[in-house]
Structure 1
Amino acid sequence: MTQHPHAVLWDMDGTLVDTEPYWMDAETELIASYGGTWSHEQALQLVGSGLIDSALILQRAGVQMGAEEIVDHLTERVRVRLQQDGVPFRPGALQMLRSLRAAGVPTALVTMSLRRMAEDIVALIGFDAFDVVVGGDDVPRPKPFPDPYLQAAEALGVDIVDTVALEDSPTGLQAAIASRAVSIGVPHIVPLDELGADVLWDTLEGRTVADLTSEFARVRVARAEVAR
């Protein structure tokens, strides 16, 4: 019988929940309040990035606020949208989470959003979905550095190479790959082709724990062959 991964590490924005449009709207509104403009193409460049890195880019676009002030402002705007409009979960995400929990596979949420936002979303899931939450304010270096994923694996007490990381953005995928987790890219707003993901799935819809376990085992065998 093929062994499950020792844990599955989830990105949040764009992978678990479809909040990227909320972030883009908040960025556009903030820049407009300072007389600037913000295109969809510019917004795409921030997908998956650390919030302080994004704030510095918004400063260069004309926002006259401190970086941490920008992060707090954007976070609060997105939290308000979530309260008003609800949490838009990505197709297949909750089903996969439920199946992983039923199979006894530990899970972690690894996001560059602030911990308080991550905890808001976790509280609205409706079941005990995650053993560990790592927020953007919990790590010294954001994605694309591997630190968030390495910290999550350490908190779970597992070796990172025995885990699967699910990501939707180039920045997040780079972090997962650098950490040495088995990386599964599930592209949403931006493509993930030719970035080096171990696996690319169009969607989590219809995917099962057996599918995830099979891919995990295949990648582990391939890595062992290369190491010989």
Structure 2
Amino acid sequence: MDGTLVDTEPYWMDAETDLVESFGGTWSHEQALQLVGSGLIDSAIILQGAGVRMGAQEIVDELTERVRVRLQQDGVPFRPGARELLQDLRAQGVRTALVTMSLRRMAEDIVSLIGFDAFDVIVGGDDVERPKPFADPYLQAAEALGVDIADTVALEDSPTGLQAALSARAVAIGIPHIVELDGLGADAIWGTLAGRGVDDLVTEFARVRSLRAEAAL
């Protein structure tokens, strides 16, 4: 969600910086980049190490609320091409799942603002025991959709998300935004979702499946 569907990573970074500084610490852009795509509890533990004297779940709740307020104030900045691709998927009857490490309540807030019924399934960070980079969130989403994970395509903007998708054996397409994804094993890298449609996903999926079949021989 964050960074692929919506451009909320700067909101999270601002919230992290404000929280750390409220406890007298400092938080650099480079430190913030390390949290992109990570599970919120894992991120909270890192923030504790930066001086935030709160429980991990308290940190998660505080950051989530700060970002939710920011979204209410400034609106939801959808990434280029994301809503259009979702519309094309829905129009052609392709089942979709949102797999995010944000809390489910925040994911539901953002999904409600898309303007149409975009997802069959939502898997939030509080819906799984092991977050990205573990494969669990994607495997759980595939099970909820009633499909084999090998028959899915995952779109990811972060290294941890990409690792989760690849570990699950989905066809993984990287859409770099805040951080680079080169050299991480993505099945493909797209610079943007703008102008992309279902036909592009079908083509990429067929190419990767063919390569995997050849490698298995």
Query: Scaled by the length of structure 1, what TM-score is found?
Result: 0.95
Q: How many residues align?
A: 217
- Aligned residue for 2:188? 199
Does 2:129 align with 1:143?
Answer: no
Match in the other structure for 2:63: 74
After superposition, give the CA deviation of every residue in 1:97-136 in whole Å (9 maximum; x if it has no partner). Answer: 0000001000000000000000000111110000000000
Q: Does 1:83 align with 2:64?
A: no
Return the offset for 1:52: 0.2
Give the letter aligned to residue 206 of structure 1.
Answer: G
Q: Find the counterpart in structure 2 of residue 95 from structure 1.
A: 84
Name the SS for the 1:184 alignment partner.
strand
In the alignment, structure 1 residue 23 sits paired with structure 2 residue 12: yes
CA positional deviation for 1:171: 0.5
Q: Is 1:209 aligned to 2:198, yes or no? A: yes
CA distance in 1, matches of 2:197, 2:111: 21
State the AA in 1 paired with 2:145: L
Residues 56-75 of structure 1 mapped to structure 2, 5 A cutoff: 56-75=45-64
Q: Which runs of 5+ in 1 are unaligned?
A: 1-11
SS of structure 1 residue aligned to 2:57: helix
What's the % identity of the aligned pairs?
82
Within a 5 Å distance, the mapping from 1:24-39 to structure 2 comes to: 24-39=13-28
2:17 partner amino acid = T
* Alignment of 1:178 onto 2:179: no
Please report how far the alpha carbon of residue 176 of structure 1 lies from its aligned counterpart in structure 2 after TM superposition.
0.4
Instruction: Note the residue ranges of structure 2 that are not aligned, 5 or more in a row.
Output: none
Matched, 1:129 2:129: no
Query: 1:194: how far off?
Result: 0.5
Give the letter aligned to residue 178 of structure 1.
S
Q: Per-residue displacement from partner, 1:59-116 (whole Å, max 9, x unpaired)?
A: 0000000000000000000000011101000000000000000010000000000000
Correspondences of 1:144-159 after superposition (within 5 Å): 144-159=133-148
Note the C-alpha offset of 1:35.
0.5
Tell me the distance in 2 between the aligned counterparts of 1:36 and 1:16.
31
* Poorly superposed stretches of 4+, deviation over 2 Å: none
**Aligned-CA RMSD value:** 0.4
Alignment partners' CA distance in 1, 2:168 and 2:76: 29
Query: For 2:58 and 2:175, how far apart are their aligned partners in 1?
Result: 31
Aligned pairs for 1:216-227 within 5 A: 216-227=205-216
- Point out which structure has higher relative CO (alpha carbons under 8 A, 6+ apart): 1
Distance 1:182 1:123 in 2: 27
Distance across 2 between alignment mates of 1:166 and 1:54: 22
Displacement of 1:207 in angstroms is: 1.0
State the Cα distance separating 1:18 from its structure 2 match. Answer: 0.5
Residue of structure 1 aligned with 2:157, choices 148, 162, 168: 168
**Residues in 2 aligned to 1:42 and 1:227: alpha-carbon distance in whole angstroms:** 40
